[in-house]
């Protein structure tokens, strides 16, 4: 079975870009709002040593809800919304690279290489945002996980609780960014950049490769039916399986990346990523590399299933009017019809 024989693929040149980007930005923002709490919990679980703050995924949700309330689940959220913009660069790079840079490769390699390159572009934009957002995410935890004090420095006439003004969130981000820049320079904001490429680049490459692999397999195994639920079921199932597979394979990189990015240069010393890894193994053993795995699988699988379903149907509703199905040459002498009916 050749990839592309069982499923239809809408290509980049088939799309009305105004529709695609317009709907994409709205859906991505809503989705990020939905899955952000799980992402925050994942970061805290990975940042803690042992079980000093939380005993596990559900305990973390329970404690944060009790001690910090709903707002606690959205610390660092405003600045993380830049991920929505980075996501548009990601998907554009992914689709364009498949048709240009890697057009002479097999479809499997197009997905693998396109996914890695797309993630590289996205991470170049997002690493500084991640570094700052992670410090905000771990603030307020039962145990101190960040070396940066992000509390407001403005004097007040009388002691009061934490400011509830939205602007304070931006102020926190600015203080974190300023502190890192002053102590480590521009390189500090790109702490863990190579680790991020290794983590997310590999995750992206593996995800897209496994997604189309699972799609082909599930399409072949599913009984033929005219039910309108058959296609979305195949898409969601493929998204879940591919996401879980990629997350399990890349979680060790993500744990080290999170720990490394949460460090701050202090008195001229700053632990390297390799030392961070060795310290983690020495203190917690190899099981420490599985920290946050449940939360990451939960977040990523739900995220991926919704995103891929949205993405596939977003492409369908964004197909150019009067689109005519076309043939695409696939790796060597295999001709595969890649066709979609215009919506």
Burial of 161 (C-beta count, 10 Å sphere; 0-12/13-18/19+): exposed
Q: Are 145 and 54 in contact (CB under 8 A)?
A: no
Question: 63: which 2 tokens?
Answer: 């404690």
The predicted pLDDT at position 210 comes to: 92
List Cα–Cα distances, 200 to 128, 150, 302, in angstroms: 15, 27, 17
Q: Which residues of the chain have pLDDT under 70?
A: 1-8, 139-170, 264-270, 322-343
How far is Cα 116 from Cα 206, in angstroms, rounded to an integer? 8
Q: How many residues does the chain have?
A: 343
Question: 249: which 2 tokens?
Answer: 């394979």
User: Mean pLDDT, the chain, as a whole number?
Assistant: 77
Whether pTM exceeds 0.85: no
The predicted pLDDT at position 34 comes to: 86
The predicted pLDDT at position 294 comes to: 86
How far is Cα 194 from Cα 127, in angstroms, rounded to an integer? 10
How far is Cα 101 from Cα 92, in angstroms, rounded to an integer? 13
Radius of gyration of the chain (CA): 22
Q: Are 60 and 41 in contact (CB under 8 A)?
A: yes
């Amino acid at each position: 079975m050749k990839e592309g024989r069982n499923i239809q693929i809408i290509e980049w040149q088939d799309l009305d870009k105004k529709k695609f980007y317009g709907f994409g930005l709205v859906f991505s923002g809503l989705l990020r709002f939905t899955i952000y709490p799980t992402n925050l919990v994942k970061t805290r679980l990975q940042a803690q040593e042992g079980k000093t703050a939380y005993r596990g995924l559900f305990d973390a949700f329970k404690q944060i809800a009790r001690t910090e309330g709903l707002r606690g689940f959205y610390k660092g959220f405003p600045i993380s919304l830049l991920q929505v913009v980075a996501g548009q660069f990601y998907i554009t790079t992914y689709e364009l690279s498949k048709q240009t840079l890697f057009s002479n490769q097999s479809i499997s390699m197009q997905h693998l290489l396109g996914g890695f390159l797309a993630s590289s572009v996205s991470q170049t934009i997002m690493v500084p945002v991640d570094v700052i957002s992670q410090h905000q995410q771990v603030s307020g935890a039962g145990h101190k996980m960040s070396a940066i004090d992000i509390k407001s420095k403005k004097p007040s006439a009388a002691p009061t609780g934490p400011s509830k003004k939205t602007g304070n969130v931006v102020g926190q981000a600015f203080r974190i960014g300023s502190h890192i820049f002053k102590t480590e320079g521009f390189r500090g904001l790109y702490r863990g950049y190579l680790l991020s490429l290794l983590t997310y680049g590999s995750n992206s490459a593996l995800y897209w490769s496994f997604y189309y692999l699972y799609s082909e397999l599930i399409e072949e195994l599913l009984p033929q039916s005219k039910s309108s639920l058959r296609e979305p079921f195949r898409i969601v199932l493929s998204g879940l399986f591919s996401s879980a597979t990629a997350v399990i394979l890349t979680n060790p990189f993500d744990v080290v990346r999170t720990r490394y990015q949460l460090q701050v240069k202090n008195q001229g010393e700053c632990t390297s990523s390799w030392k961070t890894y060795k310290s983690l193994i020495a203190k917690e053993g190899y099981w420490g590399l599985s920290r946050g795995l449940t939360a990451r699988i939960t977040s990523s699988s739900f995220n991926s299933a919704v995103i891929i379903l949205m993405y596939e149907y977003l492409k369908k509703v964004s197909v150019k009017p009067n689109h005519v199905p076309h043939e695409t040459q696939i790796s060597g002498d295999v001709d595969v019809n890649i066709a979609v009916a215009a919506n």
